[in-house]
Chains A and B, each alone.
Chain A
């Protein structure tokens, strides 16, 4: 596990560079959060999650390779990591798809930064 031990480590997986960068800055502005890895697709997200074992993985649902696939693999290969979905799509099909693979938090893109940060902390606090 990388990062300062008392900080929550976070992985970001999103194919949109603008979102990746903005999200990274939003989280970096919080003293208790540390972004340890940033991935642009599902495969890279799984690989980096296995390497870093972050407390929280924030995954886009529609990134190449599929957010749901990445979530399932991360849950399997890095069981300590809690997965949170971050999506432009709020329809029930997308939400159910992520819930089925063990995603405990589903956040719609466009919510205030404070909601995103609160959701990351809430996700990390989920029982293992």
Chain B
């Protein structure tokens, strides 16, 4: 009878594909696995049994000790519940509801933990697209882009043109002056010209052509062409999108790529960069990978200070409801990987 119950229980566990249900030993190593766990997390039982459950957590959470804290709370209070990002076998993330329960024998000794994980990604995605926060965010992204566009246009249509006219007149003036004065005026013209070049770069950075008219891939392609070839970088754009993301998502993806490419250009000493876009989990999954020098510990405070852009990239992704991470090792290049949701409000 008892054995019969165990078989039934095992059948039940294996049929629950919407729930990852498995056991951990008292140290946090995976003891069992069900079909739901394989479906949600991507590991087969053979791949995961025996490994520590911290592999399911993003690197930052592991560094901050989050997995261990979950177990401690479960030990102290019997149960621990959490919602947050978890990492699949392929490195992508899903939004999880996790319940960890401490399992004790009849004498009260800790035997391990039961862990039940649900994938709430889709629900979270849709909720966020429809809720007030999602609308506010979309509004904010649009407002910020409109402001950048205005500034870029002003720089182009007023500041640059005025300075170009000044340069043209300085050259005319130099041609009418005796040599000793002409030199000074020519140098003045060179200064004006250099400033025009910098303003042009600023305007291009603020509002690359096509960002509000062309599609994401076209804009990114144009930007890569200009920036990568200007820096002597070989580049490769792999656009594997099922459809054009909504404007706010497209802008967020573009701006993060732009920041990642700025880092590659300024710090990586790379010879090539590859940008890969793919539709995944009702969003856009992006990898920007270079073959540069890489760096030791992206979480390291001094590295952070040198790479202000990292924080900005991460914030952009997270504010939009997505995730962002950096993989890098010295000598092995860097990869910026992120995902942002791309659900059109009102489409569900």
**Using a CB–CB distance below 8 Å, which chain A residues touch chain B?**
16, 18-19, 21-23, 25-26, 29, 62, 88-94, 109-110, 112-113, 116
Contact = CB atoms under 8 A, between A and B. Distances in A.
Interface residues of B, number: 26
Interface in B146-187: 156-157, 160-162, 164-169, 171-172, 175
A94 B193 CA distance: 22
11 contacts: A26-B168, A26-B172, A88-B156, A88-B161, A91-B209, A91-B222, A92-B225, A93-B210, A110-B167, A110-B193, A110-B200
Looking at chain B's contact residues, the main secondary structure is helix
B196 interface: yes
A75 B46 CA distance: 72
Given A16-B161, A89-B156, A94 B209 contact: yes
Nearest to A15: B157
Contact of A88 (B157, B210, B222): B157
B331 interface: no
Nearest to B156: A88
B171 A25 contact: no
Nearest to A108: B200
B172 A109 contact: no
Interface of B: 156-157, 160-162, 164-169, 171-172, 175, 193, 196-197, 200, 204, 208-210, 214, 222, 225-226
B250 to A, nearest CB: 17
A96 B160 CA distance: 22
Given A93-B210, A113-B172, A18 B160 contact: no
Contact of A93 (B161, B166, B214): B214
B161 A92 contact: no
A18 B225 CA distance: 32
B160 A88 contact: yes
A112 B175 CA distance: 12
Contacts of B200: 88, 90, 110
A18 B165 contact: yes
Contacts of A91: 204, 208-210, 222, 226
A25 B161 contact: no
Contacts of A112: 171
Contacts of B161: 16, 18-19, 88, 109
B165 A110 contact: no
Nearest to B171: A113
A92 B196 CA distance: 19
Contact of B168 (A62, A89, A92, A113): A113
A18 B169 CA distance: 10
Contacts of A88: 156-157, 160-161, 164, 200
A88 B168 CA distance: 14
Query: For A19, A62, A91, which residue has the most chain B Cβ atoms within 10 angstroms?
Result: A91
Nearest to A109: B164
A31 to B, nearest CB: 13
A29 B175 contact: yes
Contacts of B197: 110
Contacts of A26: 168, 171-172
Contacts of A25: 168-169, 172
B172 A19 contact: no
B214 to A, nearest CB: 7
Identify the 8 closest CB pairs spanning chains A and B, nearest first.
A18-B165, A91-B209, A22-B168, A22-B165, A109-B164, A113-B171, A16-B161, A110-B196
Given A89-B209, A109-B161, A113-B172, 7 more contacts: A16-B162, A21-B165, A88-B156, A88-B161, A110-B164, A110-B167, A110-B200
A93 B165 contact: no
Contacts of A23: 168
B165 A19 contact: yes
Query: For B165, B167, B175, which residue has the most chain A Cβ atoms within 10 angstroms?
Result: B165
